[in-house]
């Protein structure tokens, strides 16, 4: 989120009188930008930043091969996975895990417009608190303002994605085979809800990683605008 954080800080502020106060506080020698230039830069940062973040998770293996966000099986199904492997069905167990991640990769494509809307709704106080807050303030803001909307959007997409990537058939087969094993406790997990929550968790985790990077690594501030705005945070 090299540019999402920056856009979060100021996207809705460049038309506000308070923005001039921010400009006036910038360190000497950073140059003066008009509010129009700031507005254009922030819109570009928003578009580029969100696109970059979303694209990391929407590509094939965006979840599955990223250990930081890879979706693992819920506790209820870990015993299922273990039992299948014991009876020589490891390939089916592997496929069951992979299709959960594939569904999440498909669903995260829906995050962009929700994040854009959240940024548009930010107040000056929101932005000030984010800029001068801790290393995950922007991520926390997104979680607080988008979680309900993301769940509502992700859940039906996950359900449809299960059908698209074949997860529904794979898991119907897995559960049927497991429940047919003598003496096992029958399972009937809500994998749509579980995968929805894990997909959201993955999105916010990636946002937090990028937010920390831009706050703590000067080299991550890839534009003059980023350098000027986050110079204020450095001096807090």
Tell me the pLDDT tens digit for each residue of 51-68.
Answer: 677 778 989 999 999 999
**Among all chains, which residue has been given the structure tokens 């990683």?**
209
pLDDT value at residue 48: 53
Where does the pLDDT of residue 207 fall: very low under 50, low under 70, confident under 90, or very high at 90 and above?
A: confident
Return the structure tokens found at 6: 């920056």
pLDDT band at 11 (very low <50, low <70, confident <90, very high): very low
Task: Output phi, psi for 126, to 5 deg.
Answer: -55, -50
In terms of pLDDT, which residue wins out, 84 or 7? 84
Q: Mean pLDDT throughout 90-116? A: 86
pLDDT band at residue 102 using 50, 70 and 90 as cut-offs: very high
* DSSP tag of 110: G
Which range, of 21-35, 148-162, 207-221, averages the lowest pLDDT?
Answer: 21-35
Q: Residue 232 pLDDT more than 80?
A: no
Judging by beta carbons within 10 Å of its beta carbon (0-12, 13-18, 19+), is residue 220 exposed, middle or buried?
A: middle
The answer to whether 105 touches 58, Cβ cutoff 8 Å, is yes
**Predicted local confidence at residue 72, as pLDDT:** 92
Alpha helices in 59-166 (DSSP H): 75-86, 90-107, 111-120, 124-131, 137-165
pLDDT score for 101: 94
Total-model pTM: 0.73
The closest of 143, 150, 169, 78 to 110, measured between CA atoms, is 150
**Which residue in this structure is represented by tokens 């890839």?**
222
Q: How confident is the model at residue 100 (pLDDT cuts 50, 70, 90)?
A: very high
Report the pLDDT averaged over residues 27-42: 45
Two tokens at 157? Answer: 């997409």
Q: What's the rounded mean pLDDT across residues 138-167? A: 87
Q: What is the pLDDT of residues 170-184, one digit of tens each?
A: 898 888 888 888 888
pLDDT at 6 over 50: no
CA neighbor of 63 nearest in space, from 209, 164, 206: 206
* Residues 232, 210: Cα–Cα separation, whole Å: 19
Among positive and negative, which fits the CA dihedral 39, 40, 45, 48?
Answer: positive
Of 41-55, 125-139, 203-217, which gets the smallest average pLDDT? Answer: 41-55
| Rounded Cα distance, 95 and 145, in Å | 34
33/35 Cα distance (integer angstroms)? 6
Q: Give yes or no for residue 69 having a pLDDT over 90.
A: yes
Mean pLDDT score, 126-134: 70
pLDDT class of 16 with cuts at 50, 70, 90: very low
């Amino acid at each position: 989120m090299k540019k999402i954080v920056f856009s979060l800080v100021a996207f809705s502020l460049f038309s506000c009188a308070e923005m001039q106060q921010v400009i006036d506080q910038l360190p000497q020698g950073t140059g003066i930008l008009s509010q129009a230039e700031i507005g254009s830069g922030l819109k570009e940062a928003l578009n580029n930043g969100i696109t970059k973040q979303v694209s990391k998770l929407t590509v094939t293996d965006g979840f599955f091969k990223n250990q930081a966000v890879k979706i693992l099986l819920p506790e209820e199904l870990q015993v299922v996975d273990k039992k299948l492997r014991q009876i020589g069905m490891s390939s089916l167990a592997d496929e069951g895990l992979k299709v959960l991640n594939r569904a999440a990769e498909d669903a995260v494509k829906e995050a962009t417009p929700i994040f854009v809307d959240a940024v548009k709704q930010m107040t000056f106080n929101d932005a000030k608190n984010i800029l001068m807050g801790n290393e995950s303030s922007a991520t926390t803001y997104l979680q607080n303002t988008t979680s309900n909307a993301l769940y509502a959007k992700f859940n039906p997409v996950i359900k449809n994605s299960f059908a698209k990537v074949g997860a529904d058939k794979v898991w119907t087969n897995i559960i049927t085979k497991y429940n047919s094993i003598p003496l096992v406790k029958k399972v009937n997990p809500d994998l749509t809800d579980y995968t929805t929550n894990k997909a959201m968790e993955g999105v916010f985790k990636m946002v937090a990683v990028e937010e920390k990077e831009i706050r703590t690594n000067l080299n991550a501030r890839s534009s003059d605008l980023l350098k000027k705005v986050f110079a204020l945070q450095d001096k807090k």
